[in-house]
């Protein structure tokens, strides 16, 4: 049975306007991830949490994203996308305001779980819409280009808000971003339907199980390692004898490197294939982790952060394109939000525990192990597709 890949825009809405709404909503939901290193450091400095406790806060946010996005992926065709966006924004705002009211640990955990679930719903809708576009690889690259461009502006604003209002300032900033998602929600197509100019792909509607599982495993292990390192990147900078201001400056430059990565994905498209790019991304992350964990100098920290930031959109764009090729209806792409956020939930929690036992070098060792497992999954993905 042939599957019709629906167009992104609804019948009455220009595609460019839908793209703008999709890109902004994805950026607003990703603000939780962009400000995560700053918030983890603030929880340690202002609330005097241990590295493990701060890691669990960072992890439970991502667990919430994974839970809600998996729910959307399994029932995506039955949901009204606009309603999902409104629900997601509401949960994200409530979960960001609650920590301002109380700094008790358990209420903070529960509120960040709620915020994560809201952002997960938004992200799942955004990626599923992009996954059904006529050219998902290039649309993904443009999405990450704009998202990271916005992040370059968001980081200095986050640094100012946290320095001025402590932890509460960071969470209020996230809430303000999500308020605008309400305005964008009505522009989204309400359902995934076939449009008059939709393109027909001779692909079976059933998901190819093994390639899908290996691609999700690749995503999971990559983001466990990446999530552990990224959550504590601010602490790793202090370990490399950088001041808070210097770390903030480096993190502000990171999104610019991410923009370069997104532009590279748009220019390269699929000329070199997807698998070689994914392999290069994992290898570059492993080199960067070694620089953070064992070299630990100011210059190595700067190079490693910029390298990781450059790789981030490349990996996301080509993994998204790979998953869209496995399932053109966008279900596997939506599930990738769950695998990514589950990895980002496990990563900070595991990294916090590793840091407690082995110091911050333990975080780097854990990330290397996870990257190795990601390479195994990539190899099995190639084998299963053949």
Question: Tell me: the pLDDT tens digits for 129-155?
Answer: 777 677 776 777 788 777 777 776 787
> Consecutive sets of 10 residues in the chain, 386 residues long: mean pLDDT of each?
43 70 83 79 82 80 79 68 87 86 83 89 82 72 76 81 86 88 77 43 55 88 89 84 82 80 80 87 93 85 90 85 74 75 81 84 91 92 79
Radius of gyration of the chain measured on its C-alpha atoms: 20
Tell me whether residue 2 is in a domain: no
Q: How many domains does the chain have?
A: 1
In terms of DSSP H, where are the helices of 180-203?
A: 181-185
What domain range is 247 assigned to? 10-191+208-385
Which token pair is 284? Answer: 């570059």
Q: Name the strand (E) or helix (H) holding 45.
A: helix 36-46
Q: In this structure, what CATH number is given to the domain that contains residue 323?
A: 1.20.1250.20
**pLDDT value for 221:** 93
Hey, how many other C-beta atoms are within 10 angstroms of the C-beta on 132? 25
Hey, how many other C-beta atoms are within 10 angstroms of the C-beta on 201? 13
Tell me whether residue 201 is in a domain: no
Which phi and psi (to 5°) does residue 208 adopt?
-75, 110
Tell me whether residue 25 is in a domain: yes
Which token pair is 248? Answer: 């903030």
Tell me whether residue 196 is in a domain: no
**pLDDT value for 7:** 45
Tell me whether residue 198 is in a domain: no
Tell me whether residue 197 is in a domain: no
**pLDDT value for 224:** 92
**pLDDT value for 207:** 62
pLDDT digits (tens, 9 = 90+) for 192-216: 544 433 433 333 455 677 888 888 8
pLDDT digits (tens, 9 = 90+) for 248-296: 788 878 878 888 887 888 787 777 888 899 999 999 999 999 998 888 7
Tell me whether residue 1 is in a domain: no
Which token pair is 215? Answer: 């691609």
Task: State the Cα–Cα distance between residues 12 and 199, nearest whole angstrom.
Answer: 18
**pLDDT value for 190:** 67
Contact, 62 vs 115, CB < 8 A? no
Strand partners, 5: 199
**pLDDT value for 206:** 57
């Amino acid at each position: 049975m042939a599957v019709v890949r629906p167009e992104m825009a609804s019948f009455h809405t220009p595609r460019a306007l839908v793209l703008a709404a999709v890109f902004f909503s994805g950026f607003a939901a990703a603000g939780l991830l962009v400000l995560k290193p700053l918030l983890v450091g603030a929880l340690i400095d202002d609330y005097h949490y241990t590295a493990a406790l701060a890691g669990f806060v960072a992890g439970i946010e991502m667990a919430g994203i994974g839970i809600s996005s998996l729910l959307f992926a399994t029932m995506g065709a039955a949901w009204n996308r606009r309603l999902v966006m409104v629900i997601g924004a509401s949960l994200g705002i409530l979960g960001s305001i609650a920590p301002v009211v109380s700094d008790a640990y358990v209420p903070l955990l529960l509120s960040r779980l709620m915020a994560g679930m809201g952002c997960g719903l938004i992200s799942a809708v955004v990626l599923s819409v992009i996954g059904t576009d006529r050219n998902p690889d290039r649309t993904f690259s443009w999405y990450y280009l704009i998202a990271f461009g916005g992040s370059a502006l968001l980081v200095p604003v986050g640094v100012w808000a946290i320095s001025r209002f402590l932890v509460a300032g960071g969470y209020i900033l996230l809430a303000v971003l999500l308020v605008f998602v309400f305005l964008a929600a009505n522009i989204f197509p309400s359902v995934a339907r076939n449009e008059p100019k939709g393109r027909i792909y001779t692909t079976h509607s059933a998901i190819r199980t093994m390639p899908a599982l290996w691609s999700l495993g690749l995503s999971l292990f990559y983001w466990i390692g990446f999530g552990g390192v990224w959550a504590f990147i601010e602490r790793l900078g202090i370990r490399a004898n950088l001041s808070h201001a210097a770390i903030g400056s480096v993190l502000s430059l990171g999104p610019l490197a991410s923009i370069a990565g997104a532009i590279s994905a748009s220019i390269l498209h699929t000329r070199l294939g997807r698998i070689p790019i994914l392999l290069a991304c994992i290898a570059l992350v492993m080199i960067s982790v070694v620089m953070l964990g064992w070299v630990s100098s100011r210059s190595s920290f700067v190079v490693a952060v910029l390298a990781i930031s450059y790789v981030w959109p490349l990996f996301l764009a080509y993994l998204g394109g790979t998953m869209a090729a496995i399932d053109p209806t966008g279900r596997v792409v939506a599930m990738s939000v769950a695998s990514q956020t589950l990895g980002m939930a496990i990563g900070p929690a595991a990294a916090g525990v590793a840091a407690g036992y082995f110091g911050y070098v333990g975080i780097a060792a854990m990330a290397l192990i996870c990257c190795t497992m990601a390479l195994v999954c990539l190899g099995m993905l190639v084998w299963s597709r053949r």
